[in-house]
Amino acid sequence: MAVHAHPDDESSKGAATTARYAATNADVLVVSCTGGERGDVLNPNLKGDPHIERDLSQVRREEMKRAQEILGVQHTWLGFVDSGLPEGDPLPPLPDGCFALEPLDVTTEALVREIRRFRPHVMTTYDENGGYPHPDHIMTHKVSMAAFLAAGDPTAYPHAGEPWQPLKLYYNAHNREKYVAFGEAMEAQGLDNPYADWLKNWDKDKARTITTRVECSDYFDQRDQALLAHATQIDPDGAWFQVPRDLQVRVWPTEDFEAAVSYVPVVPVEDDLFAGLGDVADADALATKGDLELVYDNRKEATV
């Protein structure tokens, strides 16, 4: 289960990994916590399109459906309303009724219901800072952590289905070294480095711990096609697509993750999100056992 804040996040974070697992007969569910209703049209080629301006919410749903089909995953909407990205100094208040202002018990119960329905062994989400400080990303982290810990507890949300305990939870890693390597490789080929200015502002002291590298280069094309399906959000001529595919495969053929909490041992560096779970029967038995104790806990306090 990959838990994301908005439609398009599932295609820009861990998409090749989800496509790989879906292609190898794993059940993969993408959860979109919000509908992206307050997003802007970021593709300059589509600005001013009357159909999009008339109903951006529906357009984003249609885009998500196409991306889902490309990745080969299942998908569900958690049903909350996009908070928007506040801008200005001071920042304006968030809009009433938005996801980031919902009571945590309400949002957690909604995700617990999906966990107990879908019964995942592994979850992925964002780190404590949301990957970047969008209020919906930070809320997605909070909801994912709370639901992961509550889903197996029969006393928590007893009307939300039979208890089921996911066994591992990962953060989608934001890996500075990856973009450094891409930039250096492009410069070595005489190409412009699209990350040079961005990397100057990346705080090296906030490096994340990479515990898991999933080789998924065979699925980079699906990842890119899924991202392009979110046409209102992605400029096809933008920075996302400036690194040549052959260079990506040669320099960094993995997507990287940071194990946050786990009921089974985590031994870095793993090459599989399901490492340590045994076969499906073993994992199912653990997930329904009850009274499990975390054996790996890498949670940190937010710094935003």
Q: What percent of the chain has pLDDT over 90?
A: 86
Residue 67 included in any domain: yes
Say how many domains are in the chain.
Answer: 2
- What is this structure's pTM? 0.96
Examine the domain organization and report whether 132 and 260 are in the same domain: yes
Tens-digit pLDDT profile for residues 241-285 = 999 999 999 999 999 999 999 999 999 999 999 999 999 999 999
| pLDDT at residue number 137 | 98
Examine the domain organization and report whether 134 and 203 are in the same domain: no
Cα(120)–Cα(165) distance, integer angstroms: 8
Examine the domain organization and report whether 56 and 116 are in the same domain: yes
Domain end residue (candidates: 185, 207, 229): 207
Tens-digit pLDDT profile for residues 112-128 = 999 999 999 999 999 99
Examine the domain organization and report whether 94 and 197 are in the same domain: no
Residue 92 has a CB neighbour count (10 Å cut-off) of: 9
Examine the domain organization and report whether 62 and 140 are in the same domain: yes
Residue 270 included in any domain: yes
Bind-site residues for Zn(2+): 6, 9, 137
Tens-digit pLDDT profile for residues 47-86 = 988 889 889 999 999 999 999 999 999 999 999 999 999 9
| pLDDT at residue number 304 | 66
Bind-site residues: 6, 9, 137
Residue 10 included in any domain: yes
Q: What range defines the domain where residue 92 resides?
A: 2-173+254-297
